[in-house]
Amino acid sequence: MIEFDSTQIESIPKRERAHLINNLCGLRSANLIGTSDGSEDNLAIFNSVIHLGSNPPLLGIVFRPLTVERHTYNNIKETKYFSINQITRTMTANAHHTSAKFEYQQSEFEFCGIKSLHREGCVVPFVKESNIQILCTYSREHMLENDCILLTATIERFWVNSDSINKSHWLNHEKATSTAIGGLDAYYQVSLIDRYNYAQPDTAPKSILD
């Protein structure tokens, strides 16, 4: 094992340190967030979408400090709506391209070769290729100690590829060809290991894969 204390962490070059610390806690979900200002569609990659609760269905997203213009954040604040779209294995390069610093009037859908989907009654775009598409509404936000913002949102509606969900509503991310993000620029394919029964103190876990 290699040990890094606080002094050694601080001595790592800035960009390398960002990659290392960002990657330290493991893989995270890979999603594209779709927003609109009413005239132009926006799309941005996020690895910070987290589950917060199921009743009501609540998600959280971490935004970096507002020291520069954040198009996604601004659009969410303006319209209160946004979409979360899962990134599949075939989408990783184009999805990563959305992290570039595009101008406000430039749509990442157009510049990054990603097809948009507009659903009736929804003011924000979805990603047509995604096998999991979620419509969310802004709830509230919380300022964190490093000036990042934890924005919470309610799930209003969602769409899932029928091949990826079974009769008991269990969602299989391997069948959905979901990907995960490690650090800032590494993408991993998802492979199911097993699924276990509800854990009990005096009972060994048992596989419940169907």
pLDDT digits 0-9 by tens, 80-137: 999 999 999 999 999 999 999 988 888 999 999 999 999 999 999 999 999 999 999 9
Residue 3 domain flag: no
Token pair belonging to 149: 């913002």
Residue 88 domain flag: yes
Residue 7 domain flag: no
Task: For the chain, list residues with pLDDT below 70.
Answer: none
Residue 21 domain flag: no
Residue 198 domain flag: no
Residue 80 domain flag: yes
Beta strands in 22-80 (DSSP E): 28-29, 31-36, 41-46, 49-54, 57-63
Question: Which residues constitute the domain of residue 106?
Answer: 28-189
Neighbours of 10 (CB within 10 A): 9
* Nearest alpha carbon to residue 64 among 83, 79, 44: 44
Residue 203 domain flag: no
CATH code at position 107: 2.30.110.10
Q: How many domains does the chain have?
A: 1
* CB-based contacts of 127, cutoff 8 Å, min separation 6: 32, 34, 43, 83, 85, 91, 114, 115, 116, 117, 133
pTM of the predicted model as reported, rounded to 2 decimal places: 0.93
